């Protein structure tokens, strides 16, 4: 026989009382909507979509990193894809002369002046190596995004107006994607972003993340 005189626990009372909030009734705070009511949840939907999005961003990050890193390797060794062996950097080739030397548009004078200079070559090749490595490893995403976006915008400015569109080309799209990857911490999935963020210097200097 149930002792009806036995006092109920506070948890049972809260669960039975319609005036108590969902969190007081033991609901997960993440499932409570802004009006204080329980939001409808499809089991597994949010977690699956979130995981898929994280892995998709990580794949895009690694793919972009490979594009930057491959451009560096091809220009250094002249593997025959966009740079022949005779024009390889290690064989005396000039990695910026061809692209910047053929610049057109309102900024052509500036790009012609720096085309083929040692400063431009080192800065360009160093940027490709650093950005590609950072993206593949998932570290220094903010620096990689800033440097990569700046490089892409400069390459876009060197070919104004673009051949296939009056304003946009793939350089600007790459720049936007790099910024999105950094904002969404894409280096934390399939990368070393979380471990990188625990380094004391990185913790003291947020722009290194």
Residue ranges of the chain with pLDDT lower than 70?
A: 1-46
How long a stretch of residues is the chain? 209
Write down the pLDDT at residue 23.
Answer: 44
**What pLDDT score was predicted for residue 163?**
86
d(CA 124, CA 29): 49
Residue spans per domain, the chain: 59-208
Q: What is the pLDDT of residue 39?
A: 41
Tokens of 84: 């022949």
Give strand pairing partners of 38. Answer: 32
Structure tokens belonging to residue 130: 């650093």
Q: What integer pLDDT is reported at residue 19 of this predicted model?
A: 52
The token duo for 45 is 């939907």
The pLDDT of residue 47: 87
- What was the pLDDT predicted at 85? 94
Token readout for 16 is 């039975």
Which 3 state secondary structure label does DSSP give 194? helix
pLDDT tens, residue by residue, 30-47? 444 344 454 444 444 468
């Amino acid at each position: 026989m149930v002792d009806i005189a036995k006092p109920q626990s506070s948890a049972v009372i809260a669960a039975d009382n319609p005036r108590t909030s969902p969190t007081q009734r033991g609901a997960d705070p993440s499932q409570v909507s802004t009006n204080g009511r329980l939001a409808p949840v499809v089991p597994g939907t949010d977690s699956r979509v979130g995981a898929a999005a994280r892995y998709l961003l990580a794949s895009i990050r690694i793919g972009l990193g490979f594009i930057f890193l491959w451009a560096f390797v091809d220009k250094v060794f002249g593997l025959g894809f966009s740079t022949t062996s005779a024009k390889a950097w290690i064989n005396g080739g000039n990695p910026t002369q061809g692209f910047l030397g053929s610049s057109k548009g309102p900024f052509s004078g500036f790009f012609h002046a720096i085309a083929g200079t040692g400063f431009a070559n080192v800065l360009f090749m160093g940027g490709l190596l650093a950005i590609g490595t950072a993206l593949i490893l998932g570290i220094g995403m903010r620096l990689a995004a800033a440097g990569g976006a700046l490089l892409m915008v400069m390459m876009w400015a060197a070919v104004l107006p673009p051949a296939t569109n009056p304003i946009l080309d793939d350089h600007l799209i790459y720049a936007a994607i790099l910024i999105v990857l950094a904002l969404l911490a894409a280096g934390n999935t399939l990368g070393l972003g979380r471990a990188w963020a625990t380094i004391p210097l990185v913790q003291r200097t947020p722009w290194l993340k």
